[in-house]
Chain A
């Protein structure tokens, strides 16, 4: 099942995990140390993030390290930015229209 990328970032714990591994690749244990939840719950979050291809796993010796897929994160960001931009431009245009209308009234 292909997961929705936005569902992945909707959860606060997953967002915190993303923020953590954005700095450096980390093992599941090291990630779990930063949270009050169980190791199991962190594993579940990591699995969802992996399925969404937001993080990637890398085997180093006996440990698995998780790191962030920067390009995938950019996609999310771009999508939201596009929508935001539409409204920004639309409203800047409204500013101009309002200021013209105000002058006409006088």
Chain B
């Protein structure tokens, strides 16, 4: 089933922009909730075995989500996402920055634009991430992911490969 669903990932380095498009086998309102309700977001936002812990979230223009990615060892990487624009069930925009545990942002951040549309029960989500600097874009990966996370990913990939080989 998942194979039928479109997944596009494009990095445009000169434009300092990443484009991520994905289709989901669910109606628009459910997908919208998954992105905008704290209790659902925390279930999928962090790639396992990391977990997502939202401390504050008020989904309204001027509001924010202050959350951490928590490693299996308990290491916390905090980020703040400020909601700069919301068009219900259609689009919202975020200003995203890394932060310390006291919510002091590390600038520069990145601008996110998320668009939602439904066709025949399939919902398409297009995410555009624009970074002020190339260094910031590279940091997105390095922060919190470089050591533990990617090693875990590699381990996972091997595990899946060995499982599917059986």
Q: Which residues of A contact B (CB under 8 A)?
A: 4, 6-7, 9-10, 79-80, 82-99, 101-102, 105
Chain B residue at minimum C-beta to C-beta distance from A8: B13
| A90 and B30 within 8 A (CB) | no
Q: How far is the CA of A87 from the CA of B40 in the complex (A)?
A: 17
B61 within 8 A of A: no
| A102 and B24 within 8 A (CB) | no
| Chain B positions within 8 Å of A87 at CB level | 9, 20, 22
Partner of A92 from the list B2, B11, B31, B33 (CB cut-off 8 Å) is: B2
Residues of B5-54 contacting chain A, CB below 8 A: 5, 7, 9, 11, 13-14, 18, 20, 22, 24-26, 30-31, 33-34, 40, 43-48
| A80 and B11 within 8 A (CB) | yes
User: Which DSSP category, helix, strand, loop or mixed, fits chain A's interface?
Assistant: helix
| Chain B positions within 8 Å of A98 at CB level | 24-26, 30-31, 34
A90-B45 contact given A7-B134, A99-B25, CB 8 Å threshold: yes
**Apart from the given pairs A79-B141, A95-B24, 15 other A-B contacts in the complex at a CB distance below 8 Å:** A6-B134, A9-B13, A10-B14, A79-B138, A86-B47, A87-B22, A88-B9, A90-B46, A90-B47, A95-B25, A97-B34, A98-B25, A101-B30, A101-B40, A105-B30
| A97 and B141 within 8 A (CB) | no
| Chain B positions within 8 Å of A89 at CB level | 47-48, 153
B contact residues, range: 20 to 34
Partner of A91 from the list B7, B40, B48 (CB cut-off 8 Å) is: B7
Chain B proximity of A6: nearest CB distance (Å) = 4
28 pairs, A vs B, C-beta closer than 8 Å: A4-B134, A7-B13, A9-B13, A82-B145, A82-B153, A83-B141, A84-B9, A86-B145, A87-B20, A87-B22, A89-B47, A90-B45, A90-B46, A91-B7, A91-B24, A93-B43, A93-B44, A93-B47, A94-B24, A94-B44, A95-B2, A97-B40, A98-B24, A98-B26, A99-B25, A99-B26, A101-B33, A105-B30
B140 within 8 A of A: yes
Which of A9, A79, A99, A105 gathers most chain B CB within 10 Å?
A: A79
Chain A proximity of B32: nearest CB distance (Å) = 11
A6-B47 contact given A95-B2, A95-B24, A102-B30, CB 8 Å threshold: no
Q: How far is the CA of A6 from the CA of B2 in the complex (A)?
A: 31
| B26 and A102 within 8 A (CB) | yes
